[in-house]
Amino acid sequence: MADNLLLAFGLTLMAGLATGIGSILAFFTKTTNTKFLSLALGFSAGVMIYVSMIEIFVKAKVALVGALDETLGNWATVGGFFGGMLLIALIDKFIPKQGNPHELKKVEDMNASSKAVQDSALLKMGTFTALAIAIHNFPEGIATFTSALQDPALGIPIAIAIAIHNIPEGIAVSVPIYFATGDKKKAFKLSFLSGLAEPIGAIVAYFLLMPFLNDIIFGIIFSGVAGIMVFISLDELLPAAKKYDEAHISIYGLIAGMVVMAVSLLLVI
C-alpha cells in the first residue's frame, strides 16, 4: 500500500507539472508541431475513453453491486459516472471563455511579436487562465491519484494521458503572460504552478477520502473518475486534436490509444 501511495502521488505530480512542458515548448520552439499535437491529443483521448468505459466503470460497478444489491449498485454506478461529468461541466461553465483552458494557443502566438505588450488587462487574463486551469486540474488530480492507488497498471497510462493534455494548457498560460510582461520566467512560473493543482487534488483525496474508503465510496469515486475522464476526452481532447488536425491524424491517434490501452490491460491480467 505504501509503495502504491508513493507511486500514485508521483504520477499525479508528473501529470500536473506537464503544464511546464507546454511553457518550455512555447519559449524554445518556433512553430507548433500540429501533426504531433493532434496525434498525441487523440492518443490521450483514446486511452482515457477506453480505460474509463472498459475498466474503471466496470470495477466501480462490481464494487457497488457487491456492497449494495444489483439494482441499487447499477443505479449508483450510473449516478457516479454522470456526477463526475456534471462536476467538470460546472467547472467549465463558470470559467469565462478567455480563461478557459479549452481555448488553446499555438507557439506561433508567442513568436508573433518579439515586443511585449505592457497591458494590465492581458496580464490579468493570463493570470486568470492559470487560475482557471488550476481549478480545472484539481478533479483531474483526484482521478489520477485514486486510479493509480487502486491499480498502478491503470494509473500509469492515465497519468501519461493527463500529462499529454496538460501540455497545450501550459502554452495557454504562457502566451498572454509573456506578451503582457516580456518575462519568460514569470510566464513559466505561473504555467508550472497551475499544474500543482493536480498533486493538491491527490493530497485532498488522500486525507479526506482514504480514511473512509469502503466498497461503496470506492465505487462512487471510481465511477465519477470514469465520467470525469470521458467528459475531458469528448469536451477537450478531441476538439483540441481536431483544431490541430491534418488528414484525420487525431482519429488515428484515438484508435492507437485504445489499442495500446487494450493490449496493456490484457498483458497485466
Instruction: Give the residue ranges of the annotated binding site for Fe(2+).
Output: 137, 140, 166, 169, 198
**How far, in Å, CA of 207 to CA of 216, rounded?**
18
Q: Which residues are annotated as a binding site?
A: 137, 140, 165-166, 169, 198
Burial letters 218-249, b for 16+ CB under 10 A, else e: bbbbbbbbbbbbbbbbeebbbebbebbbeeeb
115 φ, ψ (degrees, to nearest 5)? -105, 125
Q: What ranges in 151-183 are assigned the alpha helix state H? A: 152-181
User: What is the number of other CB atoms lying within 10 angstroms of the CB of residue 91?
Assistant: 18
Of the chain, the end-to-end C-alpha distance in Å amounts to 20
C-alpha cell at 7: 507511486
C-alpha cell at 234: 469528448
Residue type (1 letter), 226: A
Task: Give the annotated binding-site residues for Zn(2+).
Answer: 140, 165, 169
- What is the biggest distance separating any 2 CA atoms in the chain, rounded to whole angstroms? 64
C-alpha cell at 166: 496538460
| The Cα angle at residue 173 between residues 172 and 176, in degrees rounded to 5 | 90
Among candidate residues 259, 243, 248, the one with its CA nearest the CA of residue 104: 243
Instruction: Supply 168's cell numbers.
Output: 497545450
